[in-house]
Structure 1
Amino acid sequence: MNEKAVNLRVNQLLLDRIQEAENSFNLTKSEIIRTDLEQWLDQNHILSK
């Protein structure tokens, strides 16, 4: 592989890792928001058991 091909491959791998990190961060963020919402609803007796 020449240098340009290597650089393109490395960039693609980095972009893939960034995408994975963003996806897992977004999942974690939505889980936190959902938990906070459930706690609020529960504290205010809105969440039906």
Structure 2
Amino acid sequence: MAPLPKHRHSTQRKGKRMKTRLINFPKLVKCGNCGKLMLPHKLCGYCKK
């Protein structure tokens, strides 16, 4: 039989644990030349500028 938890975990502690499971979406910016979305500080994959 598995042991039961001895102490209650606070909601703050639970939130810290769950924060690591958050999905990190890439930050996208519009290309100044063609207007397509691209990663910042990278060349545009569509117009190569």
Question: TM above 0.5, one fold?
Answer: no
Larger strand proportion of the pair:
2
Q: Which has the higher helix share?
A: 1
**TM-score when normalising by structure 2:** 0.32
Higher relative contact order (CA 8 A, sep 6+): 2
- For the pair shown, the structure with the greater C-alpha radius of gyration is 2
